[in-house]
Chain A
């Protein structure tokens, strides 16, 4: 039972354009959401997070949107750069007080930025 779903295994975007990565979840107990970026042969690197009390969080070129009623979140990268080419994982945590305990990850989306 996949509680966090990333339905697009891959995405290609032209350099300079907007990249939009999507994530859906089924567990209504999830309250804290994170995006991680992973290069080959490296561990995941934290990108940005959002708690359920917000619907948007922005950090530089990265913005995460949360739609609780739809159980959907998305990561926007604008403008996209070649160094953004990586696998992006969506992750969720159930406990509002303990933001990072037992993260449940999606299967990842491989983003390729075309120069």
Chain B
């Protein structure tokens, strides 16, 4: 596809359940980002990949959050033992190469997670 694709678009999880959110970046994009957006807030950085290397995971809120990009393309954000405070929109974004100043970051439509 032409844009960043995320699935599922909507997910309702029971508290304690594990969830996996998938991101297909734009073809050829080296850099991939995950952001979390709570209701009424701006997106907050979670983690960043350059190809398959996870260069920054400082924004992951706890060790229940895990992200991977094993082949440098598709990425999965996994949340274990979900809690109600995990309810948010999870945005994936990609860029040609973050090292090039001025490169635009393109966002997907997000995965809306509700934990009940």
Whether the Cβ atoms of A104 and B45 lie closer than 8 Å is yes
Whether the Cβ atoms of A98 and B99 lie closer than 8 Å is yes
Tally of A-B residue pairs with Cβ under 8 A?
64
Q: Considering only CB atoms, which chain A residue lies closest to B101 in the complex?
A: A99
Q: Considering only CB atoms, which chain A residue lies closest to B107 in the complex?
A: A43
B91 interface neighbour in A44, A98, A101, A102, Cβ under 8 Å: A44
Mark A88-115 against chain B: 1 for CB-CB distance below 8 A, else 0. Answer: 0101000011111111111110000000
Whether the Cβ atoms of A46 and B106 lie closer than 8 Å is yes
23 contacts between A and B (CB under 8 A): A4-B42, A42-B109, A43-B108, A44-B43, A44-B91, A45-B107, A46-B104, A46-B105, A46-B106, A49-B104, A89-B42, A91-B42, A97-B101, A98-B99, A98-B101, A99-B101, A99-B102, A100-B98, A100-B103, A100-B105, A102-B48, A103-B43, A105-B44
